[in-house]
Amino acid sequence: MRRMNKKVVLGGILGGVVLTLLTGFIEAPSMMGATNYGYPFVWLTQYIIAPEYFPWHVHPVRIVLDVIVWSIIVALVLYVFFRKKK
């Protein structure tokens, strides 16, 4: 694998994780009694009405899908950036 490809892949993964965690601050439309966070997939839910114990719930499959989506987007941006730089 060429050096540029390693930078693109590693940067894409790191950027995808960071952007996914930052989307945890974006409130998504939600049902009554809960507040949802995450974009493009809702991966974090805060139950407001009668939470039994801990009111936060992380949806593991959705957070992995979110990381994948953001990693692809960041990797494409980095690929174009490094390609233009040559």
Looking at the DSSP bridge assignments, the partners of residue 35 are: 46
Task: Give the pLDDT of the chain (86 residues) as one tens digit per residue.
Answer: 566 688 889 999 999 999 999 999 999 888 888 899 999 999 999 988 876 788 888 999 999 999 999 999 999 999 998 887 66
- Using one digit for the tens of pLDDT, what is the confidence trace for 36-58? 999 999 999 998 887 678 888 89
DSSP secondary structure letters along 4-42:
HHHHHHHHHHHHHHHHHHHGGGSEE---TTEEEE-SSS-
Alpha-carbon span 44 to 78, nearest angstrom:
28
pTM of the predicted structure, to 2 decimals: 0.85
Q: Please give the pLDDT value at position 66.
A: 96
CB 10 within 8 A of CB 80: no
Split into its structural domains, the chain has a count of: 1
Domain that holds residue 40: 3-85
